[in-house]
Amino acid sequence: MTTDKRPDDGEQKLEHLEAAVNHLHESIESQRIAVGAAKGILFSLIETLGALIGDPDLPEHARSGYEALRDKARDLRGSLDKH
């Protein structure tokens, strides 16, 4: 019998969304992406995170992770709004 060391689906979703926000932040900082495109991607990420947070079956620890990531994405969007 082996133990599965892979993260569960919820953890993987959070990791993937966090990687997307981090990659977008790096792309903005290095000017490898247009501001308008970055705003569109951030809008989609924030909406997706909002839908996940609204799931009544989502465990509280996962909800707090998604909320923190949504706040990070909103902060990034706020910095883009200054452009």
- Give the model's pLDDT for residue 11: 84
Residue 55 sits at φ, ψ, to 5 deg, of -70, 120
- Indicate the number of domains in the chain: 1
Give domain status of residue 79, yes or no: yes
Tell me the pLDDT band of 10, cut-offs 50, 70 and 90: confident
Mean pLDDT score, 28-36: 95
The residue segments making up the domain with residue 73 are 46-83
Tell me the pLDDT band of 83, cut-offs 50, 70 and 90: low
pTM assigned to the model: 0.82
Give domain status of residue 61, yes or no: yes
Does residue 1 carry a pLDDT above 50?
Answer: no
Does residue 61 carry a pLDDT above 50?
Answer: yes
For residue 69, give the 3-state DSSP assignment: helix
> What's the full length of the chain, in residues?
83
